[in-house]
Amino acid sequence: MALQPAAGARDLNPREVDGNRWLCDQLAVVYRLWGYAEVAPPAVERLETLEAGGGINDRELVRLAADEPLGLRPEMTASIARAACTRMAGRPRPLRLWSSGTVFRSGLSDSGQHRLEERLQSGVELLGDLSDTGSAADAELLRLLLACLRQLELGVASRPTLLIGHHAVLTALLDQVPAPERTATRQALISYDPLALAALDLPAHQRQGLQQLMRLRGEPEKVLYQLEQQLGPSRMLDQLADTLKVVAPVAAAQGVRLQLDPSFQPHFDLYDGLVLKLVCQGAEAPVAIASGGRYDGLVERFGGAAAGLGFGFDVEAIRDLLGTDATAPQRPAATLVAYRDATRLAAALALLEQLHAGGVRAELLHQGCSSAAEAEAIAVERGCAGCRWVD
């Protein structure tokens, strides 16, 4: 019999489970205050839904053996967008939803073997009217993200950086590249691969401009100025500037650094507007704890006529970052209920439930004890708060 979990899966101890639950509860407090309602998308979906119109690589999906093509969700946005466009289509917009649950991805280990990765995710989805071209919804999403950080007390000590990009800005920049080279150029930029960029069949001046673009990231005002020099006056850039103006003062007050990066794109290719990633400094390396963006095109694929945007937190990454002592407050120790022999078991169980009715955490010792002193010694050994002896 196998004694280890499947590759990529993990056993969580009680403190880790408590930490995950505490973090999800803290985030849920903020979601509810902002008017978001909880939903529970299915863990199993049709592969067509999970692929999100080609936005998610088929190799990352965990397939199931079934009569129809099914798999486990690698994220929850596609499932919630599907439900919003079908079962919740008649509800007024904006539709504010949040969820938490496990997501599953397939990958390769260092040895080339397939492995399953499961992570606990908590996040929100905002589906609004298409007449909102972006500023209000984008600003709400980013301010909600910052409110969640305040609730989790992730501040200056974690050196948080909110990385922001925009799919349409990157597309506009790529439109200046000859069509046959656009896909390879985009991949080189988002992968930050200067060697691949240098190998492209492009005029020298254009390659030099793209190399400068690859290095263009930092303080939003300066980056926006550089983008305007390349693209000219743009309503899209004006909207992005308006959104960042609403977010920047709050981010600065919380010690969150804003970084605008035109070539940044999240792992999943779901997005067609503003995109984001939140990174904190871990003990040894930076840790990405949240990502998301705007996905109007995905909503359209499901037959909806609404704007869609959202983000998801990697709950376990936050727990590892903060530590279990911060995320899982120590439970009060239980009182041990012990008894002399089997003739006292019924009385011991009655006492146990009496303590429970009074809100006292208590547990039963299954074997009899010859004396109260022996029961007290066992209680001390088990780390109990005290001992109740039934004789």
Give mean pLDDT, residues 346-354: 96
Q: How many CB atoms lie within 10 A of CB 249?
A: 9
**Helices 167-174 and 235-254: angle between axes, nearest 10 degrees:** 140
Question: How does DSSP classify residue 5?
Answer: P
pLDDT digit string, tens, across residues 60-102? 898 998 889 999 999 999 999 999 999 998 898 899 999 999 9
Q: Which pLDDT band, with edges at 50, 70 and 90, does 34 fall under?
A: very high
Assess contact for 168 and 236: CB atoms under 8 A.
yes
Residue 159: both structure tokens together:
């050196």
* The predicted structure's pLDDT at residue 131: 59
Q: Which residues contact 357 (CB under 8 A, 6 or more apart)?
A: none
CA 210 – CA 185 distance, rounded (Å): 9
Statement: the pTM of the whole predicted model exceeds 0.85: yes
**Phi, psi of 9, deg, nearest 5:** -90, 160
Q: Is the pLDDT of residue 2 over 70?
A: no
Lowest-confidence segment of 56-65, 83-92, 109-118, 204-213 by average pLDDT: 109-118
Per-residue buried b or exposed e for 357-382, using 16+ beta carbons within 10 Å of the residue's own CB: eeeeebeebeebbeeeeebbebbeee
CA 200 – CA 108 distance, rounded (Å): 29
* The predicted structure's pLDDT at residue 112: 67
Cβ-count burial of 115 within 10 angstroms (0-12 exposed, 13-18 middle, 19+ buried)?
middle
Give mean pLDDT, residues 317-330: 87
In the chain, what are the helix, strand and coil shares in percent, each to the nearest 5? 45, 25, 35
CA 73 – CA 51 distance, rounded (Å): 9
pLDDT digit string, tens, across residues 367-386? 999 999 999 999 999 999 99
Candidates 172, 189, 148, 165; CA nearest to 258 is 165
Question: How does DSSP classify residue 218?
Answer: B
Question: pLDDT averaged over the chain?
Answer: 90
Assess contact for 179 and 159: CB atoms under 8 A.
no
Give mean pLDDT, residues 163-180: 88
From residue 203, alpha-carbon distances to 29, 116, 215, 235, 254 in Å are 54, 44, 19, 29, 44
Assess contact for 371 and 391: CB atoms under 8 A.
no
CA 99 – CA 31 distance, rounded (Å): 10
Assess contact for 37 and 96: CB atoms under 8 A.
yes
Q: Where are the domains of the chain?
A: 14-327, 335-390
pLDDT digit string, tens, across residues 138-149? 999 999 999 999
Read out DSSP for 278-338? EEEE-SSSEEEEEEEEE-HHHHHHTT--EEEEEEEEEHHHHHHHH-HHHHSPPPPPPEEEE
CA 309 – CA 319 distance, rounded (Å): 25
Q: Is the pLDDT of residue 133 over 60?
A: no
Q: Which residues pair with 310 in a beta bridge?
A: 125, 293
CA 264 – CA 29 distance, rounded (Å): 30
Assess contact for 27 and 122: CB atoms under 8 A.
yes
Assess contact for 265 and 189: CB atoms under 8 A.
no
Give mean pLDDT, residues 179-202: 85
pLDDT digit string, tens, across residues 282-302? 888 899 999 999 999 899 888
pLDDT > 70: percent of the chain: 96
Give mean pLDDT, residues 115-141: 85
Greater confidence (267 vs 142) lies with: 142
* The predicted structure's pLDDT at residue 39: 97
Q: Which residue has the tokens 């909806």?
A: 304
3-state secondary structure of 16: helix
* The predicted structure's pLDDT at residue 196: 86
Assess contact for 306 and 130: CB atoms under 8 A.
yes
Residue 210: both structure tokens together:
């793209």
Q: Is the pLDDT of residue 193 over 90?
A: no
CATH 3.40.50.2000 applies to domain 14-327: no
Cβ-count burial of 100 within 10 angstroms (0-12 exposed, 13-18 middle, 19+ buried)?
buried
Residue 214: both structure tokens together:
């690859």
Lowest-confidence segment of 25-29, 33-37, 320-324, 383-387 by average pLDDT: 320-324
Assess contact for 60 and 270: CB atoms under 8 A.
no
